[in-house]
Structure formats: structure tokens, C-alpha cells
Structure 1
């Protein structure tokens, strides 16, 4: 097998021949069901004195398109303290799963994926000093801009490629702040939009709707509803008084009240239940340790930690001896408690006003960031397009695996879209019924029907490009508005990009006018 590991000026990379049938990760030999053909790169960036952030890039691995013809997606995990290089990569969207087996629904089939362990102290990122952690999303965004400046300077081939940020949970709060900084033009990149998945944008709206949501789904009785609402009101009062650290502590109390009245409902999927040992508080445990155990430790399972601190660490070859994957995660969370409950709705408003493409997608069965709470803060946006968005009726989307069965609803207006994902929980892997694998939607908005008939045969029947198209499944799918194979869709993507570039050259529009949403659909 042709395989090598080398170090270049811009970091480490590993390339495997398309003919390879065996993937070596350190000394571990694995028989793969299909060849691993992709190129990878990884490195550290010192973002502040003593503060080092780790990134890991997978180049798009398509049989019919070059990586330069496909988007670049940066994935941000939640927590704060959850690792994209670990959890997001091996548990959700990366090319290999936790058992190092190929994932046939990996996003790498449709885009280059950049995992960043963010904030400092997350995953393989680390700080050399106790005061090196970020304490708010402004610091998080500042650190990320330093990393992205290095990344796009050293890998200039990505500067013109559409660049999207996808996020999950608290990652969405960080993604919003990072996106706003990118609009200032200090990073040379083609920033094309941000997707906020079950994101902690307005924490108090989430907490205030826990009671009504659980009550309407028969998980609270009248007494429980009163208890949960009372606990939520205490959180709301602290937020209104700008006492955000106290609000975080009261948020922990509210979660305990929910657990006691629902017999341990899972905050990430209401159709499942937390085990007794996870709900049981340890003697003398403070609220930071409790919430770390509830929301950060699940992102660091024993099997994933063994993988990251074993064969993956050895494969990467650049992790300092004194750094353990996930070893500073609690420090990340504890240093952000004063900012945790602070809303960033105003940041989303600024993004929309600046013309940034913003997409929200939320799982129906998520409790911690329930859809009811998301809808509340969206209705308070000051964006001038909100009245037009509110007038729209939502549109159903079929589950591709079961034609005729609705899998989601969506509304989109100008540069804003909202997807209601049915039978989905908080995280991509925590779904009650695995009846639909990860799907990727490419939504072309600004261009309307301008390119109808100007692309290749596989999509010539499409009446409009203002419809979602599915990517990333290695078999023929039933999609809206027609069924296409993966190769046909990638041909469509390449042809559409060429067409758009031709129009840009003709009429002088900038590439940033090309709006593409890549939405997870994992229900």
C-alpha cells in the first residue's frame, strides 16, 4: 500500500493511495470496507502567549469532484469543552467512526471539513497557564480569528472556496460571535454563512420553555410544571439582573428540578432516560462539577478517550507529552460560567443585517435547547426581513429513506432559514430511531431560476434551484424535486459553480453572493 506521513511547512499530513484497502493508524492495522482516499492535515496555532489551539482538516473526498470545487466547513462542538476533533469527528460527521470504520454518511464526501478544538483547553488544544482560558465568547472569537488567519494564509488554496461554519449546542453561540468577526474582513476567506444547530443563543428562552414543553409531551404533571416553572423564573430573574454566574448556578438547580419531576428525562432526547448514576450528585459536588458531569463528560466517553489518547495521538505525532485529550475540559467550562447564560441574539441580528446567510436547525426531541425556546428569540429579532419570514407558511420535506413520510419542515426568507427536524434530538448521534442517516442539503437561494437549463443533463428537469438538494449518500435517493445519485449531484454542484463563476465574471458580482446552506439532517 502506498501511504506516507510527512511534515510540511504548514503542518502534518497523511495521504493514502486510492488503491489502498488497509488503513494504518499508528501501529493499528484496520481492514476497511472501502478504500480511504482522502488527504488530511493538522497542526497547532499559538493564539496567545502560552495558549495553543489544535486543528484537523479533512480534504473533501469525492470521486467526481476536486476539493477545490466543494465547500469548506468548519465544525464547532458544544460544551463549552467538547472536542470537534474527537466527538464531532469520530462520533458524528468525520470519515471514520469511533471503531475506525468508514462512515458512509461522512460530510467529507461533500465538503472539506475543518475540526477545531475550541476554546483553548478543549480536546488537544491546551494552555500553559491557569489564566490562559477564555472567559467569554469575545475571547473565543478573537482566538479563532488568529487561528483562521494562520490557516487561510498557509493554505491559500482555500481562500476562494465558500467557507461555512456549522455548530452544535454551545458551539452555536461561539459560531455566531466568530461569524460576526469574520464580517470585518480581517481574514482573507470567502465566508459564505453559518448554521446554528440546536444552539445556545438565548439560554433563558430555552429554560423558560422547559416546563411547557415537558408538560405538553406528558413528561410533567401539574405539580411538576409548577416546580419547573418556578425554578426557571429564578434563572430568568438572575439574567434580567445581569447576574450571569448566579444564573448559571440556578440553571443547574432548574435541571435538577426537571430530573426529579420527570424521573430523569434525557435533556438531549426526551424519549430516553438518564441512568440513575448520572443523576446522583456526589457529596460536596459544586454546580460547576455537576454541570461538567452532565454536559461535558458525555462528550469524553471512556472508549473515545482511549482512542484519542492512544492510536490517534500516536498518529498525529505532534501532541506535547504533557497534554491529554480532554484533560483541560473542566477548566474550559468553569472559566466560561460567567458568560454561559448571556444571550447573543443581538449578534444574530447583526449577522442578518450584514447580509450573512444564517440557518437555524433544531431537533424536535431536544429539551436543553428546545425548539419552542428557539422560536421565541427568533420572533424578537429586529432584522428588517423578519415580518416577511413570519408571513411564510413552512414547507414539508420528505424523509429520503421513506418517501411520503415527512422528515422536516423549513422556512427560508432572504438570508435566513429555519429547519424543524422531526424525531431528532440535540446531537447528531442521539436519535431515537436511526431511520435517516446524515444528509446534507445544498440550498441555492439568491439565484432563483437564472441558471435553469444552463447546467448538465442530470438536473435539467429541475424547474428551480430554490429547492433543497440532497448530498452525501452513496446511493440513489428520493429527493425534492427529483431523484439523483451522489455522482449526479456532485456533477450538478460542479456545473452550478462553473455557471455561477461565469455569471460573476460577466456581471461583476462577488462570489460571496452565492448562498449555499449545508444542513445536517440526522433523524
Structure 2
């Protein structure tokens, strides 16, 4: 009898252990899927816009949500041998599927007219709405938007893996990652992650346009910049320099969230306390009416309205683009949640990532800056660029500064070595391809074709 009872208890114990192990297996599987975001492509089946070849898709990232990408193969011959330009904006920018695509250098403009100087004439274009939650990229819930830069870059790794799965012929095409504004942080982080991935790619370089790499440090030159431009007087400069000193103190103390909140108040400080009244920090020469929008981060929407004939970008994307692509996601609906998600990481300097790329990879790093951008002023950018720590820094600093001319017009200047180049771009704000398309095209030729 005792033996029989022991056998029953043993059987029950085995069943319990089996159930426990099965439960742990399910839990581990769920965590792995959630952590590593097994990705699948959902190709959009709409007719598309215009008569150009294109692929629009959502890459499903496990439980995180879906990332939107839009690929336009080049019109040039031997297209798979031509470079791929992956364009990224970020938290404070406008999604690439709209702004970079229709506003700057995609195949069509906002009137759906063919753009004769589109970059697809020479390059393959890949627009990705990143971070997740911006543009047509949708997080499953707001709390699924990653706070860490590396997690956001990991999303982009999965998107690229999905892209190459669908477009295998482009695996050996030279890849250049362009990051504008905050997109520069995503670009350098993605480049580093691509050094250790399990799919084939041919990354050649990282290009940072008016990049937010060390925002608090760059801010230290803003008071000087605005006073020299005549927008403020000595009193206003003292206000801004006090603001920048406090922001830097917070960053140095690793109080990144408070520093981020202060950084987002920059427009109000400049207008209400420093005395500029109405100024567009993204393009300082714009003349604005005194009607600031609290949700207009650094004046970019006002900037674009003035440059793009008052286009309502969200309306255009929802009423024109979404039906054409066959997508039902509300465009840029989670923008405020994304801005909030980056409170802990936005102000963390990523200079070390630029140094890592220069010191540990063979990728080129090219940096350009529009001289009319007051958020990422050119003197502020040079504060961190001139102090990079890598083996080629002395050669870079000692290289000759040379002019860039297009059709006999001076577009700016550059300083270059084999691995690092910096471009000063005249008469351009935060978005050089919009303000100075000729200069942007010339920069592309130098970066990609070395001509």
C-alpha cells in the first residue's frame, strides 16, 4: 500500500514538474519573442504613387509594433550596384516618408509632380519612419516605444534584415546611413550594431546632417551665435548662456530627463526671455509672425509651411498617401508619446559612438551643418567635432579648409581626411537638402563617389 502511494505521489510530482517546465518554456519563448522581436514583412498592396517603381511595407517587430519603410530603386542603370541611401530623422524631426520623401528629394513632390532633381536619378532611396511611433510606424501601445537608443537602433536592424530578405539583390549595394537632426543618434547607433549582425550588407558610411550628437555642448554657442546675428543683445545673451550652462550642468550630473525638458523649452526661452520675439530656430533667417505653437518642436513645422507653400503634411499623408499604399495607420499619431519616451536618452551625448566608428570600423563619417540652424549651430557642432579622440584627429584638424562651389556659386566649405569630413553649408538651416539642394547633391558626390 505504501509503495502504491509513493508511486502515485511520484507520478504527480513528475506531472507537476512537466507542467512547470512547459510553463517556463512558454514564458521563455514569450520573453525571447518580445525581447528579440522576430520580424516579418507585411507588403502593402496599394497601387502606390506615381509611375516609379517602389516597395512599401510594414516590418512587424514581435510585440513591439510595426515599422514602416518605403523603398525607391534608382532610375540609373545597373541599379543594384548603385548605393542605397537610408534616411532617418528622429524625435524632433518630421517622418522621412513625408518630409525627406515629398519635401526634399524623393521622386515626387507634395503636388505629386515628378521631381527632376530627385536623388533616385543616381541612388536607391530607403525611407524608414523611426523611431517606432512616428509617421506610419506604429507601436502596439505607447509603453512599447523603447526609451534606450540601442533598442531603437535594434528595431532598425530588424527592418534592414527584413528589407534585404525581400530585396536580396541589394545585399552588396553600398549602404550609407543618413541621420538628420536627432536621426544622427539613430544613425551612429545603427552603424555600430551592424558590425555584428547575421545578415549580409555593405555599409560604407554614416552621414550626419545638423546632427544632435552632443546637444547640451552645442548649446553653449547659441548665445554667441544669436548676438552675432543681431537677434539678441548682451542681456539676451546672458539669459541664453545661463540656460545653456544649467542644461550642461544637468547633463554632466546625468539628470538627463530634466535636461531634456529644459532643452524642449529652448524656443520659449529664446522668444520670451531672451527677446527675439519670433524666430525660427531651425532656419534663423525666416521671418515669422508672433504665433508660436507649443507642439512645434523648435519651429520645424512653421519652417516647412513657409518652404512648402503651407502644405498640411499630416492631411496629405492620410488623405493621399495612405489610400494609395493601402495602409490604415493614422500618420504620426504617437508623436507625443515618442517625445516622452526619449526623455531619459535624448540628451545623453553620443560622441563616443562617433569615436567608436572612427576607431573600430572602416566606415566613413561625413558631417554637414547648415549655418542658419540655431539649435545645432555650426560653432556648437565644432565644439565636439574638433575634440574627437581617434588616431586620425590631428590629420583632420590640420587639413586645409576648402570651398565648395556649384556653377560658380559658393555653397560652403569642407575639411576632409580619408575617414572624416566636415562641411560648412551656407544659406541653409536644419535641412540642407531642402534649403540648398545643389550643395546637398555636391556633398553626395564627394561622399559616395569621391569626386
Residue by residue over 1:70-112, the C-alpha shift from the partner in whole angstroms, topping out at 9 and shown as x without a partner, is 1111111233463111111111111101111111121111111
Show structure 2 runs of 5+ residues with no match: 1-40
Residue by residue over 1:345-365, the C-alpha shift from the partner in whole angstroms, topping out at 9 and shown as x without a partner, is 000000111221100000011
Correspondences of 1:149-228 after superposition (within 5 Å): 149-228=161-240
Residue by residue over 1:134-191, the C-alpha shift from the partner in whole angstroms, topping out at 9 and shown as x without a partner, is 2121111111111111111221101011011112101111111111111224331011
Q: CA deviation at 1:393?
A: 1.6
**Alignment partner of 1:516: what SS?**
helix
TM-score by length of 1: 0.72
Matched, 1:135 2:142: no
- CA change 1:255–1:310 in 2 (3 A) is closer
Distance in 2 between the 1:68 and 1:364 partners? 35
Q: CA deviation at 1:225?
A: 0.8
Distance in 2 between the 1:310 and 1:303 partners? 11
Q: CA deviation at 1:437?
A: 7.1
The answer for the alignment partner of 1:342 in structure 2 is 348
Q: CA deviation at 1:374?
A: 0.8
The answer for the alignment partner of 1:358 in structure 2 is 365
Show structure 1 runs of 5+ residues with no match: 1-8, 16-23, 26-35, 282-289, 444-467, 469-514
Distance in 2 between the 1:230 and 1:384 partners? 35
The answer for the alignment partner of 1:500 in structure 2 is none
Q: Which moved more, 1:177-186 or 1:234-243?
A: 177-186
- CA change 1:81–1:412 in 2 (3 A) is closer
Matched, 1:11 2:43: yes
Distance in 2 between the 1:346 and 1:192 partners? 19
Q: Is the 8 A contact 1:292 1:330 kept in 2?
A: no
Distance in 1 between the 2:170 and 2:42 partners? 13
Matched, 1:397 2:404: yes
Q: CA deviation at 1:299?
A: 7.1
The answer for the alignment partner of 1:31 in structure 2 is none
Correspondences of 1:281-360 after superposition (within 5 Å): 290=295, 292=297, 294=299, 303-317=312-326, 319-320=327-328, 323-353=329-359, 354-360=361-367
Distance in 2 between the 1:429 and 1:96 partners? 15
The answer for the alignment partner of 1:61 in structure 2 is 75
Matched, 1:104 2:116: yes
- CA change 1:81–1:254 in 2 (3 A) is closer
Choose between structure 1 and 2: higher helix proportion: 2
Correspondences of 1:364-443 after superposition (within 5 Å): 364-400=371-407, 403=408, 405-428=409-432, 431=435, 436=438, 438-442=440-444
Distance in 2 between the 1:226 and 1:118 partners? 36
**Alignment partner of 2:97: what SS?**
helix
Residue by residue over 1:187-232, the C-alpha shift from the partner in whole angstroms, topping out at 9 and shown as x without a partner, is 3101111100000000012211100111122222111111110111
**Alignment partner of 2:108: what SS?**
coil
Q: CA deviation at 1:120?
A: 0.8
- CA change 1:159–1:429 in 2 (3 A) is closer
**Alignment partner of 1:131: what SS?**
helix
Q: CA deviation at 1:236?
A: 0.6
Q: Is the 8 A contact 1:80 1:119 kept in 2?
A: no
Q: Is the 8 A contact 1:269 1:367 kept in 2?
A: yes
Q: Is the 8 A contact 1:52 1:127 kept in 2?
A: yes
- The alignment covers a number of residue pairs equal to 404
Q: CA deviation at 1:13?
A: 6.9
For the pair shown, the structure with the greater C-alpha radius of gyration is 2
Distance in 1 between the 2:74 and 2:373 partners? 30
The answer for the alignment partner of 2:279 in structure 1 is 265
Q: Is the 8 A contact 1:269 1:426 kept in 2?
A: yes
TM-score by length of 2: 0.83
